[in-house]
Amino acid sequence: MDQKKFQEAHAWIKEELDRCTSFWLTHGQDKAHGGVLTCLTREGEVYSTDKSVWMQGRCGWIFSYLCSIYGKKDEWLAFSKSCIDFLNNHCVNHAADDRLYFTVTGDGKPLRQRRYYFSEDFYAMANAEYYANTGDEEALRHARDAYDRVWRIRHGEEKDPVGMPPKTDPETRPMRSFGDPMICLNVTNVLRRCDAERATLYEERAKACVDEILRFHYKPDLKCVLETVAPDGTPLLDCTAGRVINPGHDIEGSWFLAEQANATGDKALHETAQQIFKNAFEAGWDKEFGGLLYFIDCKGYPPEAYEHDMKLWWPHNEILIASLRFYLDTKDDYYLDRFYQTLDYCKTYFADPAYGEWFGYLRRDGKPTEPPCKGSTFKGPFHVPRSLIICDRLMEEIAGGAKA
Sign of the dihedral defined by the CA atoms of residues 153, 156, 161, 166, in that order: positive
Phi, psi of 40 (to 5 degrees): -125, 140
Q: What is the CATH number of domain 3-167+203-403?
A: 1.50.10.10
Under DSSP, the state recorded for 264 is H
What pTM was computed for the model?
Answer: 0.96
Q: Span 57-64, mean pLDDT? A: 98
- E-strand stretches of 185-271: 218-219, 224-225, 228-229, 244-245
Domain residue extents for the chain: 3-167+203-403
In contact, 93 and 110? CB cutoff 8 Å: yes
Model confidence pLDDT, tens digit, residues 147-168 = 999 999 999 999 999 888 788 8
Report the pLDDT value the prediction gives residue 169, as an integer from 0 to 100. 86
Model confidence pLDDT, tens digit, residues 177-219 = 999 999 999 999 999 999 999 999 999 999 999 999 999 999 9
The answer for residues whose C-beta is within 8 angstroms of residue 253's C-beta and 6 or more apart is: 178, 182, 185, 213, 225, 276
- Rounded CA-CA distance 324/179 in Å is 23
Report the pLDDT value the prediction gives residue 31, as an integer from 0 to 100. 96
- E-strand stretches of 29-154: 51-52, 92-93, 99-100, 103-104, 110-112
Q: Span 396-400, mean pLDDT? A: 95
Report the pLDDT value the prediction gives residue 165, as an integer from 0 to 100. 79
Report the pLDDT value the prediction gives residue 164, as an integer from 0 to 100. 80
Q: Span 224-229, mean pLDDT? A: 97
In contact, 377 and 36? CB cutoff 8 Å: no
| Averaged confidence pLDDT in the chain | 96
- Rounded CA-CA distance 71/356 in Å is 23
Q: Span 49-54, mean pLDDT? A: 98
Nearest to 233 by CA among 173, 175, 297: 175
> Would you say residue 402 has pLDDT above 80?
no
Model confidence pLDDT, tens digit, residues 237-294 = 999 999 999 999 999 999 999 999 999 999 999 999 999 999 999 999 999 999 999 9
Model confidence pLDDT, tens digit, residues 361-383 = 999 999 999 999 999 999 999 99
Q: Span 301-321, mean pLDDT? A: 97
Q: 313-330 and 333-345 helices cross at what angle (nearest 10)? A: 160
